[in-house]
């Protein structure tokens, strides 16, 4: 159902699933929750990407009148407005607000012996080699996808803007971050190496942790110094 709705530009409605050849054999129709009626509105972001659906179902056939359609669309818009506060629209990763919220929550709930790492990545040197905006966007999409694959259990994977990324994750001896980042780089581009983008790790423990806002100020300083160091190298190439 939602697979159809997310591809639509408008509300996708099925008035009676038993009478619809696309859905009458669906397990959700043949057994619990015995869907008969479905209406789903795509969650469309300001950059015109459908990132999900808001749907309603009923176990009796029905249809939406015009007022109900407007109400469902308005509710979907409200969900998007709330979601985009936490999503970086360029990559689909967390933004700074989401990283701060997730980090403060994780550290507040952590055990005294737990250690977290904030892995800092600067992809300026890689982006500067892409020939056009289309290639840059394609590279960002692949990189974000492979970061998600490798750091599936991370507290947050965030794009802080420009060419700066960071990953907040628990430190595991059995799952070294170096290996996961190596695989993410190689999957994005076989010529990309961890050393090309890795800026450093900030160790975090609850005992020495104040707030994510303070930690990100330290990270911003490292990003700024690294960017300044890259400028002469980039100027020499152009």
Position 234 pLDDT exceeds 80: no
Please indicate whether the domains covering 2-83 and 96-237 agree at the CATH topology level: no
Q: What is the average pLDDT value for the chain, to the nearest integer?
A: 86
Position 74 pLDDT exceeds 90: yes
- The per-residue pLDDT for 46 is 79
- The per-residue pLDDT for 238 is 37
Q: pLDDT tens digits for 85-143?
A: 888 888 889 999 999 999 999 988 888 888 899 999 998 888 878 777 788 888 888 99
Least confident of 87-101, 137-151, 209-223: 209-223
- The per-residue pLDDT for 192 is 87
Q: Using 50, 70 and 90 to split pLDDT, how confident is the model at 173? A: low
CATH code of 2-83, in short, is: 3.30.450.40
- The per-residue pLDDT for 228 is 54
- The per-residue pLDDT for 175 is 67
Position 176 pLDDT exceeds 90: no
Q: pLDDT tens digits for 22-53?
A: 999 999 999 999 999 999 999 988 778 888 99
- The contacts found for 185-190 with CB under 8 angstroms, 24 or more apart, are 185/146, 187/142, 187/146, 187/149, 187/150, 188/139, 188/142, 188/143, 188/146, 189/126, 189/139, 189/142
CATH code of 96-237, in short, is: 3.30.70.270
Q: Where are the domains of the chain?
A: 2-83, 96-237
């Amino acid at each position: 159902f939602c697979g159809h709705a997310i591809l639509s530009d408008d509300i996708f409605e099925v008035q009676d699933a038993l009478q619809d050849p696309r859905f009458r054999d669906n397990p959700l129709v043949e057994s619990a929750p015995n869907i008969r009626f479905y209406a789903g509105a795509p969650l469309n972001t300001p950059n015109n990407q459908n990132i999900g659906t808001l749907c309603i179902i009923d176990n009796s056939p029905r249809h939406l009148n015009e007022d109900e359609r407007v109400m469902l669309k308005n509710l979907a818009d409200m969900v998007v407005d709330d979601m985009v506060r936490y999503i970086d629209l360029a990559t689909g990763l967390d933004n700074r607000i989401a990283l701060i919220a997730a980090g403060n929550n994780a550290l507040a709930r952590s055990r005294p012996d737990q250690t977290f790492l904030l892995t800092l990545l600067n992809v300026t040197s890689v982006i500067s080699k892409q020939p056009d905006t289309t290639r840059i966007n394609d590279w960002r999409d692949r990189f974000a996808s492979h970061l998600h694959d490798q750091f599936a259990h991370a507290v947050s994977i965030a794009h802080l803007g420009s060419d700066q990324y960071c990953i907040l994750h628990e430190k595991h001896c059995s799952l070294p971050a170096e290996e996961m980042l190596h695989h993410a780089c190689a999957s994005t581009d076989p010529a990309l190496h961890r050393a090309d983008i890795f800026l450093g790790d900030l160790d975090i423990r609850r005992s020495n942790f104040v707030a994510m806002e303070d930690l990100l100020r330290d990270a911003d300083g490292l990003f700024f110094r690294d960017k300044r160091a890259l400028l002469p190298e980039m100027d020499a190439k152009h």
